[in-house]
Amino acid sequence: MLSDSVELIEPPENSIMVGTGKGGVGKSTIAAHLAGHTAAQGKRTLLVCVTSQDDDDLGIKRFGRGIQPDGPSVVDGQGLYRSISERSPLMPIREVRPNLDVVPGGVAVGELVQLLMHRMMTEGVGVVLSLARSLAPLAPWYDQIVFDSAPENDSLEQLAAAAARYLVVPTRSDDSSISGMQRIARNFKAVRKQANPSLRVAGAFLYASNPTATSMHAEVKEDIREVLGNGTTIFSKVVGYREKPARNARKKGLLFAEYAELLPTSARSYDVAAGRAKVADVVPEAIIGLSGDMRDLNNEILLHCGRGD
Ligand SMILES: Nc1ncnc2c1ncn2[C@@H]1O[C@H](COP(=O)(O)OP(=O)(O)OP(=O)(O)O)[C@@H](O)[C@H]1O
Ligand SMILES: [Mg+2]
């Protein structure tokens, strides 16, 4: 299938894809937080959401965060779709946070699948580098690039993998999440062989699990290595399962660290009982642990992707 004319594109030095074959394991949460983390460190960061589900962790749609580029709307994946379809540079929403620009995902990203299939027939496998090509003119402006990816979709997973240097693989502990990793393992191999020889698996990790279940964690590590290979680095940080603060933060379009800052001035349960506040106004105390866990995970990811600072 590989045609001789495929012109390889060296992926940006500090580009990381968060990917795994299974849906709902935490990819978008992790990608948004990793991008927010490096931006808060003062690194010019770009988050590219190659997923048809836009969870809006950063409050772009719901709270109008960031500066939209001139021209037609880029939200709901429309900007990403247009850049690929017109073979033009990506058009990020700028300054969603200081130093953080975002190419949002959304429903239009799903439409890319057909476009890519169609082009594949006439242009061959080089089509998988479409995102890498649209990113290349912007890449030098950024210190860090993070890709969120789509679940259960080979074309979109390959599109992101062809543009990234590092892949990090989150998983939950259940069997279907573990076997879901087979998809990313397959796509990793295919992309590395045919389009992006620089791609590396920086590591895999268990996400959203009870931190005290250490014997179960050991079993999961074995499972991960069985799927991804014996030499796979497994990150030590396991972000705890904390549904309520994770859900509330996303609804408010806030990163965990930002949501945690609201805790000191938050309404309390007794305010709700007295009718002075709504349940939604109470910031759960567990946000502190969740925010700390996520910070540690982000630092570990960056360490293994060659950025220890
Ligand atoms: N530490 C956590 N504990 C509990 N729930 C969490 C945690 N982190 C994220 N979540 C929740 O898990 C759900 C799935 O997360 P997320 O959307 O990031 O996964 P995903 O892999 O991107 O999903 P999809 O495959 O649908 O794109 C969301 O409701 C999110 O709020
Ligand atoms: Mg997602």
Any atom of ligand 1 within 6 Å of the Cβ of 29: yes
pLDDT in tens, 274-302: 988 888 889 999 999 999 999 999 999 99
Helices (H), the chain: 27-40, 60-63, 78-85, 107-123, 130-135, 154-161, 175-194, 214-228, 243-251, 256-260, 269-273, 287-304
Q: Whose CA is closest to 201, among 24, 18, 29? A: 18
pLDDT of residue 293: 98
Give the list of residues 6+ apart from residue 4 with CB closer than 8 angstroms, or none. Answer: none
pLDDT in tens, 164-208: 999 999 999 998 888 889 999 999 999 999 999 999 999 999 999
pLDDT of residue 151: 85
Any atom of ligand 1 within 6 Å of the Cβ of 51: yes
Any atom of ligand 1 within 6 Å of the Cβ of 36: no
**3-class DSSP state of 209:** strand
State how far the Cα of 230 lies from the Cα of 222, in Å rounded to an integer: 9
**Residue 95 above 80 pLDDT?**
yes
pLDDT of residue 108: 96
Any atom of ligand 1 within 6 Å of the Cβ of 25: yes
Any atom of ligand 1 within 6 Å of the Cβ of 133: no
Q: pLDDT category, 272, cuts 50, 70, 90? A: confident
Tokens (6 digits) for 278: 């709504």
DSSP-assigned letter for residue 67:
B
Q: pLDDT category, 1, cuts 50, 70, 90? A: very low
pLDDT of residue 308: 42
Q: Whose CA is closest to 21, among 237, 240, 189, 210? A: 189
Please report, for the chain, the start and end positions of each structural domain, with discontinuous segments joined by +. 15-242
Report how far ligand 2's centroid is from the alpha carbon of 221 (Å).
Answer: 23
pLDDT of residue 309: 40
CB 31, CB 146: distance < 8 Å = yes
**Residue 307 above 60 pLDDT?**
no
Q: pLDDT category, 211, cuts 50, 70, 90? A: confident
| Average pLDDT value for the chain | 93
CA separation (Å) from 7 to 42, 131, 194, 277?
33, 13, 11, 59
pLDDT in tens, 8-21: 999 999 999 999 97
Which one of the ligands is nearest to 207 CA?
1
CB 104, CB 64: distance < 8 Å = no
Please classify residue 114 by burial: count the beta carbons closer than 10 Å to its beta carbon, then call 0-12 exposed, 13-18 middle and 19+ buried. Answer: exposed
Instruction: Considering the domain delimited by 15-242, tell me its CATH architecture.
Output: 3-Layer(aba) Sandwich (3.40)
Mean pLDDT across 144-161: 94
CB 147, CB 18: distance < 8 Å = yes
State how far the Cα of 124 lies from the Cα of 280, in Å rounded to an integer: 51
CA atoms within 13 A on the CB side of 12: 25
The closest-lying atom of ligand 1 relative to the alpha carbon of residue 150 is 27
Q: pLDDT category, 5, cuts 50, 70, 90? A: low
